[in-house]
């Protein structure tokens, strides 16, 4: 049965009750399941990759809900570290603690809590499907070995709830739309097989509740420079050609960042022993329509296109079946026109163009 995280290891006995009053703020929530008002204390979340794109927005959301948020990030140079530092600075101003620690040192980051975190959200990874083809050992070291170090430490501490990032890429080759129930086949990139491995790692771990989230093409303000929206916007603004694979004949399920974060939040309120969910927009968008939306918002006319054959690590189409997550109350609220406009507005403000 799904359950809500309501206080981790501080629920039993008068001594624990008094400790909880000392350590936590309180608020009351309406419990629809029991038809009565129940008291809950605010809980602690530890986020890996907290200065990354999704980590940054997730930390903001949990902080807005009153949770105590702490996280780690290794601030690598896969893309401009300034972007990560600026995200981290914004989090620090909110009182969110961000430690420059890698998964190799995860025990140091988690030791910053005075007690065991009620929830760990594992988002740290060597990202980028195409990047992983040229750097397979980096993907293995960070995504598999680093994740196992996190699992080992969570088991040692007695962490009961972990949400971790998987990817829609593990379903590449399956019939569309992609769902959680179909078997997973052979992966076409190191990124894909490391994420497939992560699902197995958490499935056999001793952690009570672990839930994996298969993200579909996440985009929005503060996004990653290697992703299509950021890359295309940056090059169009600078008058450079944009590289378009498979001659533009591709479709993607583009998912806005606030929808992703909402999905994470909903899952954290409905933790189960072992589960997987797809988080996407649930709609396909033609790649060239996506490009047209970027051009329209930038306002510099049409871009120069550099059409290329299909990239070996790419899927021609993605499309999420989110019906399983929708049963928990999820819905995708932001479609591409609104999402692209929001990103381009952020880009112009951030880079003063």
330: its two tokens: 């999820």
Closest of 326, 265, 334 to residue 66, by C-alpha: 265
Q: How far is CA 4 from the centre of its chain?
A: 20
Residues pairing with 166 in the sheet: 214
Which residues are within 8 A (CB) of 270 and not within 5 positions of it... i.e. 6 or more apart?
2, 3, 4, 328
Active site residue 191: yes
Q: Is the peptide bond before 116 cis (omega within 30 degrees of 0)?
A: no
Can you tell me whether residue 209 is helix, strand or coil?
A: strand
| 307 φ, ψ (degrees, to nearest 5) | -75, 135
Closest of 232, 312, 324, 320 to residue 280, by C-alpha: 320
Q: Where are the beta strands (DSSP E) in 116-250?
A: 119-122, 161-167, 209-215, 218-219, 242-245
Q: How far is CA 318 from the centre of its chain?
A: 17
> Exactly one of 191, 256, 277, 347 is catalytic; which is it?
191
Q: Catalogue the active-site residues.
A: 191
């Amino acid at each position: 049965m799904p359950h809500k995280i309501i206080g981790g290891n501080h629920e039993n006995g008068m001594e624990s009750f008094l400790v909880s009053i000392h350590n936590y703020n309180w608020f009351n929530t309406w419990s629809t399941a029991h038809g009565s008002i129940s008291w809950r204390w605010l809980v602690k979340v530890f986020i890996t990759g907290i200065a990354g794109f999704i980590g940054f927005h997730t930390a903001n959301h949990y902080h807005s809900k009153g949770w105590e948020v702490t996280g780690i990030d290794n601030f690598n140079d896969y893309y401009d570290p300034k972007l990560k530092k600026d995200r981290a600075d914004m989090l620090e101003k909110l009182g969110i603690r961000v430690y420059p620690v890698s998964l190799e040192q995860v025990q140091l980051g988690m030791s910053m809590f005075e007690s065991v975190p009620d929830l760990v959200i594992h988002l740290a990874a060597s990202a980028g499907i195409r990047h992983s083809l040229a750097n397979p050992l980096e993907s293995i070291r960070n995504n598999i070995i680093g994740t196992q170090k996190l699992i080992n430490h969570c088991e040692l501490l007695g962490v009961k709830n972990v949400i971790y990032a998987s990817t829609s890429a593990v379903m590449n080759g399956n019939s569309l739309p992609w769902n959680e129930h179909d078997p997973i086949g052979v992966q076409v990139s190191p990124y894909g097989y490391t994420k497939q491995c992560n699902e197995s790692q958490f499935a056999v771990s001793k952690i009570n509740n672990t839930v994996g989230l298969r993200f579909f093409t996440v985009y929005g303000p503060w996004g990653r420079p290697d992703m299509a929206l950021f890359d295309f916007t940056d090059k169009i603004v600078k008058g450079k050609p944009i590289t378009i694979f498979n001659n533009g004949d591709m479709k993607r399920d583009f998912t806005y960042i606030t929808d992703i974060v909402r999905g994470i939040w909903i899952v954290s309120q409905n933790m189960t022993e072992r589960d997987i969910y797809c988080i996407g927009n649930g709609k396909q968008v033609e790649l060239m329509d996506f490009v047209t939306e970027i051009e329209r918002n930038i306002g510099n006319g049409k871009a120069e296109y550099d059409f290329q054959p299909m990239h070996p690590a790419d899927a021609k189409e993605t499309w999420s079946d989110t019906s399983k997550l929708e049963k928990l109350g999820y819905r995708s609220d932001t479609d591409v026109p609104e999402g692209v406009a929001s990103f381009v507005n952020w880009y112009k403000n951030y880079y003063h163009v």
